[in-house]
Amino acid sequence: MMATLAKAALQLLLLLIAAPLLSGFIRTLKARLQMRRGPGILQPLRDVWKLLRKDMVIPETASWIFAATPYVYFSTAMLVGLLVPMIATAAPLRLFGGVLAVIYLLALGRFFMALGALDAGSSFGGLGSSREMTISAIAEPAMMLAIFTVAITANSTDLSEMARVSVSQSWKFLAPSQMLAFSGLFIALLAETGRIPVDNPATHLELTMIHEAMVLEYSGPYLALIEWGASIRQLVLMTLLVNTFFPFGLSANWTPINLIPGLAFYLLKLLLLAGAVVLVETSNAKLRLFRVPELLAVAFILGALALISTFLF
């Protein structure tokens, strides 16, 4: 029991700190690629700290849903973070539901986020909420299909078990099914985290914004919780991607001697994936909203091919 708590506390700490840093890294790297100086890696952490100390403005039209949303969004993100193996193959919490619980807990956060956006009563919120639910409705099946492929290969939907199996067959990632599933999941990741071909995290233009439109009415500590939560969600999804497909260096247990190289490997993999995301963001333009389904259809087809190739090869 104490051991579980210690593991959970350790991973929670890592989540809370690494998530904003990862966002900062992506932002800085992107700026450098675009010949800008960029705000520095620490900026998202500074933003959270600053927002937490500010006062809030609550829209007068809002109900308790508006106030509950930041908590739900943040706590589901944290819980999901504890369910995913980050530096060791065994996640601190192994609960009922496995990877499906991860996806549906993320959906729970999104459900409340979309409600909170509608609760303020302005059309921007509705706009963001409608687009978010639309995109997630088509991104989720693509993501599930890719995950099913991995689950079928590992013969389990439990994340720790999936990680254990993929560590034991470490060259498996070269199998066509795994590569196809990875590509499908990567596209779904771009959609779920609001990255450039789908949503532009750096804009407040009402014609294009999705996530920003939903959080428009939030300020102060509520906004801090939401932004923090959003960066944790991003970290969790990226962790899911790197650790299921490239399980190298995952520590087999929670002893310090194994954890330190595990952490180093984990951060390295994460930074590489972040680099890939940045490359995609810099070299692509944002798609029109109604072109996004085509992109996600590609992800879906990749997932389907992955599934079929599991028993062809």
Locate 117 and state its tokens.
């956006």
Q: What are phi and psi of 308, to 5 degrees?
A: -65, -35
Segment interacting with another protein (CB under 8 A) among 33-41, 61-69, 189-197, 280-288: 61-69
Pick the binder of another protein from 56, 264, 268, 279 (CB under 8 A).
56
Minimum CB distance to another protein, residue 114 (Å):
5
Binding residue for another protein (CB under 8 A) from 22, 45, 48, 78? 78
| # of chain residues touching another protein (CB under 8 A) | 85
Q: How far apart are CA 305 and CA 181, in angstroms?
A: 8
Q: Which is nearer to another protein, 111 or 173 (CB)?
A: 111
126 binds another protein (CB under 8 A): yes
Q: Is 51 in the site for another protein (CB under 8 A)?
A: no
Comparison of 217 and 227: residue with beta carbon closer to another protein: 217
Give residue for tokens 């520095």.
Answer: 40
Going residue by residue from 163 to 202, which x/- string records binding to another protein, judged by CB under 8 A? ----------------------------------------
- Shortest Cβ 112–another protein spacing (Å): 9
* Three-state secondary structure string covering 77-115: HHHHHHHCCCCECCCCCCCCCHHHHHHHHHHHHHHHHHH
Residue 121 main-chain phi, psi, to 5 deg: 90, -5
Instruction: Say whether residue 130 binds another protein (CB under 8 A).
Output: yes
Is 157 in a helix, a strand, or coil?
coil
- Kindly state the tokens that stand for 30: 């992107």
Q: Whats the size of the chain, residue-wise? A: 313
> Does an H or E element contain 64, and which?
helix 64-83
Q: Is 275 in the site for another protein (CB under 8 A)?
A: no
Contact 135, 189 (CB under 8 A): no
Identify residues 197-216 at the interface with another protein (CB under 8 A): 216
